[in-house]
Amino acid sequence: MDFATFHREVLPRSCADGRGPMAAGALRPGDALSLVSGDSAFTYRSTGGDVVVAAGADAATVVELDGAAWADLLDESWSVFGLLYADRVRMREGEFTMLAVWEAPLQALWFGRPVYGADAVHALGGVDVGRSFTLEDSDADLADFLRTAGFLVLRGVLAQEEIDALNALVATERAAAAPGDGRSWWATNADGAEVCCRLTYMAGRDATIAGLAGDPRFVRIAALADPDLRPCLDRLDGVSVVIKNPAVVSGLSDLPWHRDCGIGGHRMLCPGLNVGIQLDRADEANGQLHFLAGSHHHAAQQGPPPGLDAPVVAVTAEPGDVTVHFGHTLHAAPPPSSPTAGRKALYLGYHLPAAFDAVSPGQSYNDVLVVRDGGRVKSPEEVAAG
């Protein structure tokens, strides 16, 4: 929709529906953001209990987008981070970090999507979000926990010999990978060495890995979310392996709080499911996933809300364990603490048919991350700093 028409005709109705207080809950009183597109400008400002929108650009943070970028942001084809990596957003005044702060409030105003807060924690009730399961548990119990928490931890899904075989395949692929090959991500450690932090499209190069998608165990796991989910082997990074490295100083080896639709495509990619086969022990020393329980129905955020006793679950896992999470569940993979860390996890992605209609083979929203620097994926802070 046209930028000016949206702000003059559509947004006032949304504000009148009570979305302003929902958005204001994620902001400080006085926080303001000005959006500019073409000859039109509008400023969003938090009063503390509401968000008001007025014509003009008088905020300390002024963001300029052309008409196409505005349309992509409004229909969630691309997020603010996707536009940043694609050089499609210009900070006329202020820092990109403030635009990122406004992403969740804007989604609350525009789409009526709630911001994660005390209500979300209360909705979890007495659920033990730190518990884990096995495939001996019933589908009903597994699906209920996944729907409630947004993630699931399954113990002992793969035998040790299966993990040994997968680790051997990953070692071969890792040794053959190089920056700019289009099938790997790279970062830089404190010694100045380039380290591989992700391998992509593994199923296209190995029949064993491609066969995992049809394994009855993983077919069953995917169906817990939706029986129409299909394994994604040839697009959206295919089957990938995430590799933790110690002492990374540049690049996106250590993932901050994010959602897997955080670059864009939420309306096509969600509710998608990511199934992670743990190839090594996961813990604080070797690297581990953190999930924010119950966050999969909420607006994008860059971490648990400050001041909230949020149910963050740090997953400790053994080789052969499997993690399952909706792509829209807020999660993070902070730096490992050990100087010898090297945890690996192999991910199978599952999506609804709409994602296959929208994304062609060989394409991924993450492509915008890797085309900038020959596979050396930069953090948002590095990109924003130029």
Q: Please work out, in degrees rounded to the nearest 5, the angle formed at the alpha carbon of residue 215 by the alpha carbons of 172 and 320.
A: 60
State how far the Cα of 309 lies from the Cα of 148, in Å rounded to an integer.
Answer: 18
Q: What is the pLDDT of residues 111-154, one digit of tens each?
A: 999 999 999 999 998 899 999 999 999 999 999 999 999 999 99
Integer CA distances (angstroms), 218 to 84, 210, 229, 276, 324, in order: 35, 12, 11, 10, 10
Structure tokens that stand for 325 in this block: 């999470």
User: The domain 3-111: what is its CATH number?
Assistant: 3.30.1050.10
Q: What is the pLDDT of residues 8-47, one digit of tens each?
A: 999 998 888 889 999 999 999 999 999 999 999 999 999 9
State how far the Cα of 42 lies from the Cα of 53, in Å rounded to an integer.
Answer: 7
Decide if 135 contacts 291 (C-beta within 8 A): no
The neighbour count for residue 204, using CB atoms within 10 Å, is 15
For the chain, the structural domain boundaries read 3-111, 119-384
Structure tokens that stand for 53 in this block: 């929108």
Find the helix or strand (DSSP H, E) in which 312 lies: strand 312-314
User: The domain 119-384: what is its CATH number?
Assistant: 2.60.120.620
- HSE-CB at 267 with a 13 A cutoff on CA atoms is 12
pLDDT in tens, the chain (386 residues): 899 999 999 999 888 888 999 999 999 999 999 999 999 999 999 999 999 999 999 999 999 999 999 999 999 999 999 999 999 999 999 999 999 999 999 999 999 999 999 999 999 988 999 999 999 999 999 999 999 999 999 999 999 999 999 999 999 999 999 998 989 999 999 999 999 999 999 999 999 999 999 999 999 999 999 999 999 999 999 999 999 999 999 988 899 999 999 999 999 999 999 999 999 999 999 999 999 999 999 999 989 998 899 999 999 999 999 999 999 999 999 999 999 999 999 999 999 999 999 999 999 999 998 887 777 788 888 888 87
Q: What is the CA radius of gyration of the chain?
A: 21
Q: What single string gives the DSSP state of each residue in 237-290?
A: T-SEEEE--TTEEESSSSEEEE-TTSSS-HHHH-S-EEEEEE-S-BBTTTB--E
The amino acid at residue 249 is V
Decide if 218 contacts 292 (C-beta within 8 A): no
Decide if 24 contacts 49 (C-beta within 8 A): yes
Integer CA distances (angstroms), 105 to 22, 26, 89, 166, 209, in order: 8, 6, 18, 42, 40
pTM of the model: 0.94
